[in-house]
């Protein structure tokens, strides 16, 4: 066979083939050497995060092996903690369009072993709550067979979290052979009548602006998420129900909280009384709470019904008894008994929520402090206001002076105010004021 012409097409084709084969072999060898190093470096980058769920575990990156099982595109990585379980890294988009990343771990028996954000910029106090301790505790109390609950007030973010964890559950349960219902929904806690809710953090106030004997209108204010919202609440006095709510000032997040102020949402309050349930507007739970607070307190004032959940902020916080305004309680005391040169009993009375409450307040006149208080007559709502008259509650006033702050009893703010008013009146008498 003659020599090939180095300039011939055949020679060049053979030479090119040989070069390609050699390069392919070299690349294959290089890849075989570097691939484990690259994979190890990638695993090392996230290992610190993985160890938040499984401290000290040996991890294997099984993403390439299992990622084809993900039908959602939400799973970013899958890591096996040898002998312990699996950790999934995921992404989602909540209220912030930039999205967030997080991880969830499952023990081999299916228990959720950890859940935490890797990177998130969700709105503070709203979407960010999906990564706060309370919701984290909720998630880590579940298993891979349980549905993931949404978080009221952070619906968009928690829905994205739910979708991501559901994607991880589908892969994990398939690998572990765990059967579950992927369409199961978490139970939604039954919302209580809005007359029973706790509105103490809303600093709600209501002032009657008109009353023709049939209809009363109250101008109310209540804190929402970012600021104080205001509304006029119209009450049908004959039925003790709401006729209408008109929002007069909105100071919460535009585009979020204002969904609760839409005409269709406000119309849901019409015909409702304190024993009715009014659900929050999805995605606007804080503004909704401020509206329910104003509606409930307007109804409370119009019907003379004390709210079971309380409404006023905790009185006494940050100010002494001598600094509080008890004008509305019309408190008064008379000397009842001079026990000795240092102790005097005062017979006192003060308006509560429904009626006049009475008590005997014993004061150490040399120290200007309360040594005892005994309720002698209670005329507020049974089962509500009388919580403030329990022995353990009255015990808190012992040793109190006009400079002391004593918090109101939860759910019995009006009765608590009457008690503090009587104590303040007795202490003022003892001080010669």
Radius of gyration of the chain (CA): 34
The tokens for 30 are 């290089």
What gap in Å lies between CA 374 and CA 389, rounded to an integer?
9
How much is the pLDDT for 5?
Answer: 63
What gap in Å lies between CA 407 and CA 394, rounded to an integer?
11
User: Which helix (H) or strand (E) segment is 422 a member of?
Assistant: helix 413-430
How far, CA to CA in Å, does 381 sit from each of 207, 306, 377, 387?
Answer: 22, 7, 13, 10
How much is the pLDDT for 315?
Answer: 37
**Residue 115 and residue 169 in contact, taking contact as beta carbons nearer than 8 Å:** no
How much is the pLDDT for 194?
Answer: 83
How much is the pLDDT for 35?
Answer: 52
How much is the pLDDT for 40?
Answer: 56
DSSP 182-235: TT--PPPPPPPPTTSS--GGGT-EEEEEEE-SSEEEEEEEEE-SSSEEEEEEEE
Rounded to the nearest angstrom, the gap between the alpha carbon of residue 92 and the centroid of all alpha carbons in its chain is 21
The pTM of the whole model exceeds 0.85: no
How much is the pLDDT for 417?
Answer: 86
Backbone angles phi, psi at 391, to 5 degrees: -55, -40
User: Which helix (H) or strand (E) segment is 45 a member of?
Assistant: helix 9-50
What gap in Å lies between CA 352 and CA 412, rounded to an integer?
10
- The residue among 97, 103, 29, 95 whose CA lies nearest residue 63 is 103
How far, CA to CA in Å, does 339 sit from each of 343, 370, 400, 432?
Answer: 5, 14, 19, 18
How much is the pLDDT for 314?
Answer: 38
Tens digit of each residue's pLDDT, the chain (433 residues): 556 566 667 666 776 777 777 777 767 665 555 555 544 555 667 888 999 999 999 999 999 999 999 999 999 999 999 999 999 999 999 877 789 999 999 999 999 999 999 999 887 777 888 999 989 999 999 999 999 998 876 778 999 999 999 999 999 999 999 999 999 988 766 667 888 888 887 888 888 888 888 999 999 999 988 789 999 999 999 999 999 999 999 998 888 788 999 999 999 999 999 989 888 887 787 899 999 999 999 998 888 777 765 554 333 333 578 888 888 888 999 988 887 778 899 999 999 877 899 999 999 988 999 999 999 999 887 877 788 899 999 999 999 999 888 877 766 778 888 999 999 999 999 888 7
């Amino acid at each position: 066979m003659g020599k090939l012409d180095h300039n011939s097409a055949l020679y060049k084709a053979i030479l090119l083939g040989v070069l390609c084969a050699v390069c392919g072999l070299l690349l294959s060898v290089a890849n075989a050497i570097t691939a484990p190093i690259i994979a190890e470096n990638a695993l090392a980058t996230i290992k610190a995060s993985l160890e938040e769920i499984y401290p000290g575990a040996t991890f294997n990156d099984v993403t390439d092996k299992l990622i084809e099982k993900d039908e959602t595109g939400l799973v970013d990585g899958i890591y096996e903690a040898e002998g312990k379980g699996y950790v999934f890294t995921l992404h989602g988009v909540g209220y912030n369009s930039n999205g967030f990343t997080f991880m969830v771990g499952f023990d081999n028996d299916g228990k959720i072993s950890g859940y935490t954000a890797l990177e998130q910029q969700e709105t503070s106090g709203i979407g960010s709550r999906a990564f706060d301790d309370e919701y984290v505790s909720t998630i880590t109390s579940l298993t891979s067979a349980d549905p993931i609950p949404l978080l009221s007030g952070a619906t968009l973010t928690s829905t994205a979290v739910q979708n991501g964890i559901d994607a991880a559950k589908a892969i994990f349960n398939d690998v572990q052979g765990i059967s579950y219902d992927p369409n199961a929904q978490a139970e939604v806690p039954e919302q209580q009548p809005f007359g029973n809710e706790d509105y103490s953090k809303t600093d709600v106030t209501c002032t009657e602006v008109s009353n023709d004997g049939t209809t009363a209108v109250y101008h109310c204010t209540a804190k929402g998420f970012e600021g104080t919202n205001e509304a006029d609440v119209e009450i049908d006095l004959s039925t003790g129900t709401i006729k209408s709510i008109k929002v007069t000032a909105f100071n919460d997040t535009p585009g979020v909280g204002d969904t609760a102020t839409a005409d269709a949402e406000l119309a849901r309050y019409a015909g409702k009384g304190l024993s009715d349930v009014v659900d929050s507007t999805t995605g606007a739970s804080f503004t909704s709470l401020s509206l329910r607070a104003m509606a409930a307190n307007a109804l409370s004032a119009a019907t003379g019904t004390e709210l079971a959940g309380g409404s006023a902020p905790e009185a006494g916080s940050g100010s002494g008894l001598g600094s509080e305004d008890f004008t509305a309680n019309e408190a008064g005391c008379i000397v009842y008994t001079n026990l000795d040169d240092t102790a005097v009993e005062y017979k006192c009375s003060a308006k509560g929520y429904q009626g006049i409450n009475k008590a005997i307040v014993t004061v150490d006149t040399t120290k200007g402090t309360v040594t005892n208080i005994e309720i002698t007559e209670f005329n507020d709502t049974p089962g509500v206001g009388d919580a403030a008259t329990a022995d353990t509650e009255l015990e808190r006033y012992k040793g109190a002076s006009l400079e002391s702050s004593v918090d109101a009893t939860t759910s019995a703010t009006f009765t608590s105010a009457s008690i503090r008013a009587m104590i303040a009146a007795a202490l003022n008498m003892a001080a010669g004021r």
